Structure 1
Amino acid sequence: MIKITVPGRPISKSNFKLYNIHGQAWMPKQGKHSKYVAYENMIAGYINKSYQGPIIEENLITIIKLYFPNKRIGDIHNYPKSICDGIEKSGIIKNDKQLKPVLILDYIDKDNPRVEIELYKSSEYNLSFSLEKK
Structure 2
Amino acid sequence: MIKLTIPGRPISKSNFKLHNIHGQAWMPAKGKHSKYLAYENMIAGYINQQYQGEQIEEDLITVLKLYFPDKRMGDLHNYPKSICDGIEKSGIIKNDKQLKPVLLFNYIDKEEPRVEIFLYPVSKYDVSYTITEK
TM-score under structure 2 normalisation? 0.96
Distance apart, 1:109 and its partner CA:
1.0
Report what 1:65 is aligned to. 65
User: Do the aligned partners of 1:2 and 1:50 also contact (CA within 8 Å) in 2?
Assistant: no
Asked if the contact 1:44–1:89 (Cα under 8 Å) also holds between the matched residues in 2, the reply is yes
Residue number in structure 1 paired with 2:123: 123
Distance in 1 of aligned mates of 2:104 and 2:61: 11
Preserved CA contact (<8 Å) 1:4 1:50? yes
Matched residues in 1 for 2:21 and 2:128: separation?
A: 46
Q: How many residues align?
A: 134
- What SS does the aligned partner of 1:112 have? coil
Cα distance in 1 between the residues matched to 2:65 and 2:82: 13
Once residues 49 and 110 of structure 2 are traced to their aligned partners in structure 1, the CA distance between those partners, rounded to angstroms, is 26
- Distance in 1 between the 2:131 and 2:42 partners? 34
> What code does the residue aligned with 1:65 have?
K
- Measured after TM superposition, the shift of residue 129 of structure 1 is 2.2
Matched, 1:30 2:25: no
Misfit runs of 4+, over 4 Å: none
CA distance in 2, matches of 1:3, 1:31: 33
Name the amino acid aligned to 1:43: I
Please give the secondary structure, in 1, of the residue aligned with 2:4. Answer: strand
Pairwise CA distance, 1:72? 1.0
CA contact (8 A) 1:68 1:107 kept: yes
Listed as ranges, the matches of 1:82-93 within 5 Å are: 82-93=82-93
2:111 corresponds to:
111
Q: Once the 2 structures are TM-superposed, how far is the Cα of residue 133 of structure 1 from its aligned partner? A: 1.5
Q: Letter of the 1:50 partner, please give it.
A: Q
Distance 1:47 1:93 in 2: 11
**CA distance, structure 2, for counterparts of residue 35 and residue 57 of structure 1:** 29
In structure 1, runs of 5+ residues without a counterpart are: none
RMSD across aligned positions (CA): 0.9
Structure 2: runs of 5+ lacking an equivalent: none
Identity %: 76
**Partners of 1:11 and 1:59 in 2: CA distance:** 24
- In structure 2, how many angstroms separate the alpha carbons of the residues matched to 1:53 and 1:4? 13
CA contact (8 A) 1:61 1:102 kept: yes
- TM-superposed CA distance for 1:16, in Å, is 0.2
Q: Secondary structure at the match of 1:6?
A: strand
